[in-house]
A and B are shown apart, each in its own frame.
Chain A
Amino acid sequence: MEVDAQFVRDVLEFGGKTLKKCYQCATCSVVCPQSPEENPFPRKEMIWAQWGLKDKLLKDGDIWLCHQCNDCSEYCPRGAKPGEVLAALRAKVIQEFAFPSFFAKILLKPAGIVIYFAIPILLTLLYLAIFNPEIPSGEIVIGNFIPHLHIELAGFAVGGWALLVAAIGAFRFWTAINSEVSKVYEYKLEENAELNVVKSSPRFIECLFWSVIDVLKHSRFAECGTSRYRYFAHLMIFWGFIILGVATLGDIVYLYGLGVEELALPLSDPVKILGNIGAVLLILGSGWAIVARFSDERIGYGTYFDWIFLSTIFAVGVTGIAIEALRYAGSVAAYYAYLIHLILVFTLIAYAPYSKFAHVIYRTLAYTWAKSTGREPKK
Chain B
Amino acid sequence: MAGEILVIGGGIAGLTAAIEAAETGYDVILVEKNPYLGGRVSQLNKYFPKLCPPFCGLEIFFKRMKSTPKLKYFTNAEVLEIRGEEGNFNVKVKLKPRYVNENCTACGACREVCPVEAPDDYNFGLKTKKAIDIPSIMAMPFRYYIDDRYCNKCGECVSACKYNAINLEEEEKIIDLNVASIIVATGWKPYDATKLDNLGYGKFKNVITNMEMERLASLNGPTGGKIQTMDGRDIESIAFVQCAGSRDENHLPYCSAVCCLASLKQATYVREQYPDAKIYIFYIDIRAFGRYEDFFAKVKADENIELIKGKVAKVEEKDGKLVVTAEDTLTGEKEQREVDMVVLATGMQPAIEPIPGIEVDEYGFVKPKPGIIPAGVAAMPMDVASANESATGAALKAIQVARR
Contact = CB atoms under 8 A, between A and B. Distances in A.
A75 B250 contact: yes
A24 B332 CA distance: 11
B249 A77 contact: yes
A44 interface: yes
B313 A27 contact: yes
Majority secondary structure of chain A interface residues (helix, strand, loop or mixed): loop
Interface stretch (A30-38, A258-266, A313-321, A334-342): A30-38
Contacts of B334: 29-30, 35-38, 40
A44 B249 contact: no
A40 B327 contact: yes
Given A39-B332, A77-B243, A77-B249, A25 B310 contact: yes
B326 interface: yes
A75 B313 contact: yes
A31 B312 CA distance: 10
Given A37-B334, A39-B333, A43-B329, A30 B312 contact: yes
Interface residues of B, number: 21
B249 A26 contact: no
Nearest to B285: A23
B360 interface: no
A25 B311 contact: yes
A37 B333 contact: yes
Interface in A58-108: 75-79
Given A26-B326, A30-B325, A43-B327, A77 B247 contact: yes
Interface in A16-30: 23-30
Chain B at the A interface: mostly helix, strand, loop or mixed? loop
A31 B251 CA distance: 17
A83 to B, nearest CB: 15
B333 A31 contact: no
B307 to A, nearest CB: 14
B314 interface: yes
A196 to B, nearest CB: 27
B133 to A, nearest CB: 39
B284 interface: yes
A77 B333 contact: no
A30 B250 contact: no
B286 to A, nearest CB: 13
A79 B253 CA distance: 11
A77 B251 CA distance: 8
A26 B313 contact: yes
B331 to A, nearest CB: 9
Nearest to B249: A79
A38 B247 CA distance: 26
Contact of B332 (A30, A31, A44, A77): A44
Given A26-B311, A43-B329, A77-B251, 17 more contacts: A24-B284, A24-B329, A25-B284, A29-B334, A30-B327, A31-B313, A31-B314, A35-B334, A38-B332, A38-B333, A38-B334, A43-B327, A75-B198, A75-B313, A77-B247, A77-B250, A79-B249
Interface of B: 198, 243, 247-251, 284, 310-314, 325-329, 332-334
Closest 6 CB pairs of A and B: A77-B248, A30-B313, A26-B327, A25-B311, A29-B327, A27-B313
21 contacts: A23-B247, A23-B284, A25-B243, A25-B311, A26-B310, A26-B311, A26-B329, A27-B313, A29-B334, A30-B310, A30-B326, A30-B327, A35-B334, A37-B333, A38-B332, A40-B327, A40-B334, A43-B327, A44-B332, A77-B250, A78-B248
Interface of A: 23-31, 35-40, 43-44, 75-79
